[in-house]
Amino acid sequence: MSKRKVNQKDIAESLRLSVATVSKALSGDYSDINSETRARVVNMASQLGYMHGSGRQQAIAEETASYLVGVLILRKLHEWQHTTYFAGMSEKCAKLNVSLILHYVSEDSCEHIFDQDYQPPAMREGKLSGLILVNHWPEPIVNRLASRQPCIAIQQPYPNARVDVVGADEAQGIDLLGDHLFGLKHRRIGFFGHCSQVDFARRRFGAYVSTLYRLGLEYDPADTVPLSAAHLEDKEIILTGQIESVIRRIQRGVRAWICANDWVGYLLCRGLIDRGYHIPKGVSVVGFDDSEDNTLGCPKLTSITIPSQKIGAEALRRLINRVRHPASPSLRVLLPCKLFEAQTSGPAPRTVTSV
């Protein structure tokens, strides 16, 4: 009598999983299945003698394959520290059978990444399984890289390139800041650091407007103070009238300010303190990133903490998924931020005349 063939229901019952989960794990659809469950399914299938042709063989091969991943970092003068990204990637390396190669590229010569004389040897020799891009690369370069091999971008979206993006949910972060200030009875909230040329400033400004409307607050364009890309990205310290613009709005009742990042938040605090304002008794100031070490002698800024280690880990996981399933649709994965309440946010003043 011939032995009964093992089917997916047998595997599911052995592991107490649904047949749908088993089917996805064996067919290579890992979109919502963690690696531990995948491994259990593949191992049980092998133990029970389940035969699924190329799908089963592919799943087993993927569990044992090793990968060499390139992390390309566009070097910018004052770019936010990204060592925690790498810590997150590193903690996933053993589990995903990945080895990382980190390669820094100067911003003014980033096109050299296509010149073999400037490439890391593994990239030159075609050994990389895929790339993780850190910082804001020029989109034409990203398009070329993505056309050659799987790519994941950290934080920065590239609408015309076929890359997955993993980053922080900046809109949710601005919502946290808005809710925090609203809870402190602030009903006039300004934005310091709008700049259409800087992607993160543009995204955070859009989120600020959305947050005001969600809270039922009025949006007044006069409550937005623009800054240059040099202030936001290169840590330019010289301001040309922006503090005076803020003071004029303070005198009209805008006693809380959301800043595009921590650096410009400290610039604003320093400027107001030097002009006699008390932070946070007279004015509340909040930032974004919780990453700036140079406080300019100001109190520690209330800010938003970016889950950078989780972003690094997820970026690596997404890249391996992209390598295994190159035809799957591009995804944008946004991880939640946390409010870091420090020393620069307080209750709205009872009057608008005191400093």
Residue 351: inside a domain: no
Domain holding 120, by residue range, is 67-168+308-334
Are the C-beta atoms of residues 316 and 93 closer than 8 Å to each other? yes
Residue 213, domain CATH: 3.40.50.2300
Residues 182 and 159 grouped into a single domain: no
Residues 209 and 296 grouped into a single domain: yes
pLDDT band at 42 (very low <50, low <70, confident <90, very high): confident
- Tokens representing 239 are 């301001």
Tell whether the model's pLDDT for residue 61 goes beyond 70. Answer: no
Residue 16: inside a domain: yes
Mean pLDDT of 272-292: 95
Residue 54, domain CATH: 1.10.260
Residues 132 and 229 grouped into a single domain: no
> In the prediction, which pLDDT does 353 show?
45
Residues 174 and 300 grouped into a single domain: yes
Mean pLDDT of 260-271: 96
> In the prediction, which pLDDT does 355 show?
44
Q: What is the 3-state secondary structure (H, E, C) of 71-112?
A: EEEEECCCCCCCHHHHHHHHHHHHHHCEEEEEEEEEHHHHHH
Beta bridge partners of 70: 101, 131
pLDDT in tens, 155-197: 999 988 989 999 999 999 999 999 999 999 999 999 999 999 9
Residues 231 and 315 grouped into a single domain: no
Mean pLDDT of 292-306: 95
Residues 47 and 119 grouped into a single domain: no
Beta bridge partners of 67: 98
pLDDT band at 48 (very low <50, low <70, confident <90, very high): confident
- Tokens representing 98 are 């990945």
Residues 174 and 295 grouped into a single domain: yes
Mean pLDDT of 60-85: 75
Tell whether the model's pLDDT for residue 34 goes beyond 90. Answer: no
Residue 340: inside a domain: no
> In the prediction, which pLDDT does 245 show?
97
> In the prediction, which pLDDT does 280 show?
97
**What is the Cα–Cα distance from 92 to 86, expressed in whole angstroms?**
10
Mean pLDDT of 256-282: 97
- Higher pLDDT residue, 217 or 21? 217
pLDDT in tens, 223-248: 999 999 989 988 888 888 999 999 99
Are the C-beta atoms of residues 71 and 134 closer than 8 Å to each other? yes
Residues 200 and 226 grouped into a single domain: yes
Contacts (Cβ under 8 Å, ≥6 apart) of 215: 178, 179, 182
Contacts (Cβ under 8 Å, ≥6 apart) of 109: 118
Place of tokens 């100031």: 285
pLDDT band at 79 (very low <50, low <70, confident <90, very high): low
Residue 107: inside a domain: yes
Helix pair angle (199-214, 170-183), 10° resolution: 50
> In the prediction, which pLDDT does 318 show?
93
Average pLDDT, the chain: 89
Residue 343: inside a domain: no
Number of domains in the chain: 3
- Higher pLDDT residue, 220 or 325? 220
Are the C-beta atoms of residues 181 and 211 closer than 8 Å to each other? no
Residues 80 and 47 grouped into a single domain: no
**What is the Cα–Cα distance from 146 to 226, expressed in whole angstroms?**
34
Beta bridge partners of 103: 72
Look up residue 299 and give its DSSP letter.
P
**What is the Cα–Cα distance from 119 to 109, expressed in whole angstroms?**
12
pLDDT band at 354 (very low <50, low <70, confident <90, very high): very low
Query: Which one, of 202, 203, 303, lies nearest residue 257 by Cα?
Result: 303
pLDDT in tens, 321-353: 999 888 878 889 999 999 999 999 999 998 644
Tell whether the model's pLDDT for residue 30 goes beyond 70. Answer: no
Contacts (Cβ under 8 Å, ≥6 apart) of 293: none
pLDDT band at 10 (very low <50, low <70, confident <90, very high): confident
Rounded to 5 degrees, what are φ and ψ at 208? -60, -45
Share of the chain above pLDDT 90, in %: 65
Instruction: Compute the chain's Rg from CA coordinates.
Output: 25
Query: Which one, of 342, 61, 338, 345, lies nearest residue 173 by Cα?
Result: 338
**What is the Cα–Cα distance from 99 to 120, expressed in whole angstroms?**
14
Look up residue 176 and give its DSSP letter.
H
Residues 296 and 327 grouped into a single domain: no
